[in-house]
Structure 1
């Protein structure tokens, strides 16, 4: 009899607590993890505007973060590791007739996100932060090629929209990353990306 009363008490408490828990839950709130894929345009521009080069390809990676919903706005932190299929090249960089080819390697990002909930299922946001890009370089002059790699610090700015689908979510995002000059050359590097994201909140 005591066991039955105990079980009944647990059920009553559970049923009373469940609605309260549901009311406390918020959209766009809590830890999340996601996969990203999208269109990537990599630019490498020299001091002469006519020497610029641009290539496009596919960017992909994984990201995670934590969002806090204050009601009228959402603040979050996020990190990402990615890679890309694109590269760019330019001639007459250091000497006449030479060629410098750059391929984007792994990309690390850490930043913040600020959003405004339009509804319980739609968030409009902007983002910004630090990015560290691995570049692989090949320099060719007179038929001889030298290769090396370098990590370059830069910044990233972006904006997008997030749609909540229960614990799952999807995002469409544009972002611009600027890495400045590569090594001791005048080759300025930056990229434009349009990314699709699919993720899950916990």
Structure 2
């Protein structure tokens, strides 16, 4: 009789002793954050700041030299065509570069075009355009600049970069003084 009682009782223990899961209270995990795109679509507006070094030399009626810190604000728009990126922008830098105690370069405004190669999260580019420099004694004068730079995305919206520019201002403010300026700057941009 004990064997038959055990045999009859075994099926009662065959099921799980855990409570069934109620699917009505199941909360799905949040979707993972969208990773930064490896193809680095550069299309869109950007704004930010730059800071670096400026070296100024003159020749003509006066030979004056000076170098110091230069920095300011940047803004622009880029369009990514796949492998190539074209864009335009504006930079405004403030400086206090003394030219042998005779004058001081106070600011540089640039309207620029740039074109480069899309490296995914990197952008290698050439740039150039119109520039206007303002000095304390000589007022302001128009010129041009040429240069190159590299920008790298560290997040989907933040990029860091560097840019080297050569500026030429001939006959600055009708003074018979030609001004050459070279700037090397680090750039931080927020891409919208």
C-alpha deviation, 1:26, in angstroms: 4.8
Would you tell me which structure has more strand in proportion to its own residues?
1
The residue aligned with 1:94 is: none
Mapped partners of 2:190, 2:173: distance in 1: 39
Which residue in the other structure is 2:52 paired with? 38
Q: Please name the residue that 1:150 is paired with.
A: 139
| Alignment length (residue pairs) | 158
Per-residue CA distance 1:51-104 (angstroms, 9 max, x = gap): 633211000100100000000100001001111121214xxxxxxxxxx82211
| Uncovered stretches (5+) of structure 2, i.e. residues with no partner | 1-30
Calculate the TM-score normalised by the size of structure 2.
0.75
Gaps of 5+ in 1: 1-14, 90-99, 138-148
Structure of higher CA gyration radius: 2
List structure 1 segments (4+ residues) > 4 angstroms apart after TM superposition: none
The residue aligned with 1:172 is 162
Q: Residue 85 of structure 1: SS of its match in structure 2?
A: strand
The answer to whether the 8 Å contact 2:140/2:173 transfers is no
**Contact 1:77–1:112, Cα closer than 8 Å, also in 2:** yes
1:106 and 2:107 correspond: yes
